[in-house]
Structure formats: C-alpha cells, structure tokens
Amino acid sequence: MKSLSARFLKGLVKDDPILEDGTPQIAFIGRSNVGKSSLINSLTGQKGLARTSSFPGRTQEINVFVVLVRGSYPAPGAAEHDPQARSGAPAAEERQYWLDLPGYGYSRHSLETKRRLHRLIDWYLYKSPAWQKQVVLIIDAEVGPTENDFEMLRALEATKKPILIVANKVDKIRKSKAAARLREIRTRIGIHKVIPYSSETGIGRPELIAAILG
Ligand code: GTP
Ligand code: MG
C-alpha cells in the first residue's frame, strides 16, 4: 500500500513557475460546497490540511499541496535509466501537486466574485501552461450531476482531459437506495469511471487513491 504525506505549498491567483516545473498535477474540481477540500483532507489523512467550511464558496484561490507518495514502484521502462530501479528496489518517493480549486456555481457570490473564480478555473484548466495528469471532477452523490457539472464535464471532454468522477457524500444516501442511485449516476455520466466516496466515513478511499496514483 502506498502512503501519502502532504503539505500546503501556496495559493495561486495567477500564473506561477511551479505549474511548469514538471511535477504531475492532480486537479480537484467541482461545485462549491461539494466537498473538494474535505476530500483532499480525507485522502491524505491530514484533517486540517485544506480549509473546509459549511458555507459554500470557501476556497477562492487555487491551493497547491505537495504530496509525497511512498512505496510506489518504478514505471515500466524506468529500469533502463535508473540504477535504483535496476536493482529491483522500490523508488524512494514520487512527488505530485494536488490542486484544490475554487468551486463553481455558488449563486450567492457577487457577480464579480463569480466571474473572477470562473476566470481562474477556466484559465488554469484551459489557458495556462499547466498539464494535468488527472482531473478529478467531484459531484454530489445525493444531488446527482447538475447542469453546471455537465457543462464542466463537456468542456473537460472537449479538451481531452484525463477525467475521473467522484460521487461524494455517499454517506448521505440511505443504504437501501445507494446502489440504484449510483447506477443512475453512472448511466448519466457515460463512459467515465465513477468512484463512490465519503470523506465522513472513508468509503472509496482505497479505490480513489489507487485511481489517482495509478
Ligand atoms: P468550496 O471551497 O466552497 O468550493 O467547497 P468545497 O467543495 O471545498 O467543500 P468543503 O470540503 O469545504 O465541504 C463543504 C461541506 O460539506 C462541509 O460542511 C463538509 O463537512 C461537508 N462534506 C464534505 N464531504 C462530505 C462527505 O463526504 N459527507 C458529508 N456528509 N459531508 C461532507
Ligand atoms: Mg474548498
């Protein structure tokens, strides 16, 4: 099993050299209040890492975390160039950036704030020099994918981003209804992998970690 440790690096509101330093980026996006920051905390097992709030619109910058992954093995082909890999020993550490993005679609923000946040999300995903190894689109399992979620999904598809869908807050669905609800979400989402998740209970954590770390 791979182990993770993470620390906050910086909050971005515009371009930054770290976006082009070659470190693989995992972007967490989704509607405001869907649980992006909580999910990062629960995946890393570090509760206070990303700031969360019961009030939507908490995250207003792109918060970048450095995540160190231990216990991973070299990628196929790496052995040719890496003496440590040739020896058969596990690679010491892999470094990733996890990016906690502001949420979209919070109606109570001022028009100006809404535009600013949308511009920031749009710039990071589609205009900046950043390259995402994985874009994790988080939806609310209880609510299901909304118009805003589909708008985001279509844009990600159109730009050929590597998409992974997380159906968060599954703890809020009654057990007897969960399977049918997830079937319905999967049908509506289409070809993408959908991982049921709960930051409250830890359901889906091993699957999501495996999907993100590969
Ligand atoms: P913004 O930064 O505003 O875009 O929100 P966010 O998507 O980062 O959401 P955040 O992690 O701050 O969580 C929003 C609220 O949802 C908080 O009250 C969390 O406690 C709650 N929450 C997050 N994940 C879960 C979950 O899996 N289950 C339940 N029941 N509540 C959750
Ligand atoms: Mg947040």
The CATH number of whichever domain residue 20 belongs to comes to 3.40.50.300
Q: Is 129 helix (H, G, I), strand (E, B) or coil?
A: coil
Range of the domain at 124: 2-213
* Mean pLDDT to the nearest integer, 155-175: 97
Instruction: Give the pLDDT score at 84.
Output: 52
Instruction: Give the pLDDT score at 93.
Output: 86
* Mean pLDDT to the nearest integer, 83-108: 76
Kindly tell me if the per-residue pLDDT of 74 is higher than 60.
no
Q: How far apart are CA 86 and CA 23, in angstroms?
A: 23
The shares of helix, strand and coil residues in the chain, as percent rounded to the nearest 5, are 35, 25, 40
pLDDT band (50, 70, 90) for residue 111: confident
Kindly tell me if the per-residue pLDDT of 17 is higher than 90.
yes
**Structural domain count, the chain:** 1
Cβ of 63 below 6 Å from ligand 1: no
Q: What is the mean pLDDT of the chain?
A: 90
Please report the DSSP string for 50-73 in residue order: S---SSS----SEEEEEEEEESPP
Instruction: Give the pLDDT score at 77.
Output: 53
pLDDT digit string, tens, across residues 168-185: 999 999 999 999 999 999
Kindly tell me if the per-residue pLDDT of 75 is higher than 60.
no
Cβ of 36 below 6 Å from ligand 1: yes
CA of 36 to the centre of ligand 1 (A): 7
Instruction: Give the pLDDT score at 91.
Output: 58
pTM surpassing 0.85?
Answer: yes
Q: Which atom of ligand 1 is nearest to the CA of 138?
A: 7
Range from 75-84, 102-111, 195-204 carrying the lowest mean pLDDT:
75-84
